[in-house]
Structure 1
Amino acid sequence: MSNEKEFIPVRIAVLTVSDTRKIEDDKSGKTLVDRIEGAGHIVADRKILRDEREQIADQLREWCANKDVDVVISTGGTGLTGRDVTVEAHRDVYEKEMDAFSTLFTMISFPKVGMSAVQSRACGGVANGTYLFALPGSPGACKDAWDEILSVQLDYRHGPCNFVEIFPRLDEHKRRK
């Protein structure tokens, strides 16, 4: 009998944050969908919302309350301009922030975009037993985050540890008496 773990598909919702994009021209969202499905995971839902903090946070909360969504990945609205509010919306929802996600994303981005990596506010966290990640709104950033971080951590077969194996313990604090 083999000790190899079997692949476990994860249900992932994709949110594009943009004042101008539609599904037809949403290259970053399509990049994520293609990679998610290509890896054998399930796209549980996909939406595009304007850069409105409350609307974004409400959508994140809705997906976190949905037992058919394990992970939420948003793209767009992570920059420094006045309309970039995705990170604030994510932080409105997070129970815990994953500081190392931001650091690792910056390390991966730096060799590709140089000092421009300092402008990214990509972040990750956990809420209601759901992983949430906010990525920049470029296809390249989505490829980098998926290919070099998320595809690995969302693969149950990855060792020594991965996000999938700790799913059951993400909300254990709510079950304590």
Structure 2
Amino acid sequence: MHIPKKGLRALGIAESYAGREHSTLAGIVMRKDRIIDGVAFSRVTVGGMNATDGILAIVNALDRRDINVILLSGCVIAFFNIINPALIFDQTTFPVICVTYEVSAGLEGDIRHHFPGDTARLDAYRRLGTRIPHILPDGQTVYLRSWGLDPADAGRLCTAFTCEGKIPDPLRVARLAARAAHSFVM
């Protein structure tokens, strides 16, 4: 992947979840030069297992072939609605990077507590694999999982799309859009 290219496009997908039945997902297509040239929304069930379908709905609604990478703000959203990034990569052929921001011992215990006996959910979580720390130029650390590209390229892409702070800009804008849309459709 040619990262210096100014027209490099990322689809950032983030959610707004406020304890309701549904969580709102926003997808923002942003070029590396910070130009936004696409927006789409979907909803997923809080506590469900349809997060992957919600993300694929955004990709399909945008109907773009010029996206170079999909950035996800977490792989577990909407009260343990677990995303399948490998399936997203397989169906779209776009590399997928899941970005998280905190050190964590993992969620297996929480999943067992809230969903006793739900081995499918636990297996889906385990398939996500290990997060790899990536230090941004300002010294802050993000934690990455990637599908369709190696961890070093995933780190370079996160750096390329992060202007300040530790949230890549497509995810920061997607989070703002999801919050605005979620509060609008209450």
- Name the TM-score, length of structure 1 as normaliser: 0.38
TM-score of the pair, normalised by structure 2: 0.37
The structure that is helix-richer by fraction is 1
